[in-house]
Amino acid sequence: IIHWYKQKEDEAPERLLFASEGKVTIESGFQANRYMVERSSAQKRCVLTIKDVIPDDAATYYCAYWDPHLIGYYNKLFGSGTKLVVSEKGSSPPANSEILQKKHENQIMYVCLIEKFYPEVIRVTWTDDEKEIRDNVVKGDTWQSTKEDEYSIASLLTVPAENENKKYYCKYEHEEEKASLPTQVYSVKAAPQEEDCRTVFNRDELMHRTAYLVYIILLLKSSMYYLIVLFFNYK
């Protein structure tokens, strides 16, 4: 039995429908003729289709099922969710994407900055050219740029300084574009004796943005640790 849930922002999830043996049962409060479910046991897929989408359909949709393999009780497993954005504005890919890096003592911090895209739904991952990296990765939430219809996001990867010659990749998937950004091998170069004002401005701006992003992300990490310690002290 496959269940589909709908969760609007800042609200509890509610079950939309469930499908069993070719029969689909729509929960009360939802228009039955607007939802269609297709199942493929061979491919282990279940597809939910929403017809005539309206603004009220904007939400995150989750599929779920009861796991019968746990002895003694059932555990309902949920998917990662699919966010549906309903808007008259057309989607647009990121206008800028780059990796900022800073070496500090025995660590190197890479900040993947992806700017000015719409809608805000985007997936960002780090890889080492072989597999996805999950440890020592902090992904921030999307934030709105100066324009209300543009969003940006940053993701931080921390690696040991001994890996400075290893290349990593920041990959993002947006409905308008997919890309993979490689990190640069860390090196320190002497600044030229003569440089124009534009070069100085760009470097200063880059360092300012890097420091700001690292500060925000480290602040979030510190807050998380504080809440964990507070929780165990309370327990």
Confidence tier at 45 by pLDDT (50, 70, 90): confident
Considering the entire predicted model, what is its pTM?
0.63
pLDDT at 194: 47
Confidence tier at 190 by pLDDT (50, 70, 90): very low
Domains and CATH numbers, the chain: 2-84 (2.60.40.10), 96-182 (2.60.40.10)
Identify the residue with better confidence: 174 or 187: 174
Per-residue pLDDT at 200 exceeds 50: no
Taking only the tens place, the pLDDT of each residue in 88-145 is 888 999 999 999 988 888 999 999 999 999 998 999 999 997 799 999 999 888 998 7
pLDDT at 228: 65
Kindly write down the DSSP assignment for every residue of the chain, as one continuous string: -EEEEEE-TTS--EEEEEEETTEEEEPTTS-GGGEEEEEETTTTEEEEEESS--GGG-EEEEEEEEETTSTTS-EEEE---EEE---SSPPB--SEEEEEEEEETTEEEEEEEEEEEBSS--EEEEE-SSSEE-TTEEEPPPEE-SSTT-EEEEEEEEEEGGGTTS--EEEEEETTEEEEEEPPPP---PPPS---HHHHHHHHHHHHHHHHHHHHHHHHHHHHHHHHHHHHHH-
Least confident of 10-19, 68-77, 214-223: 214-223
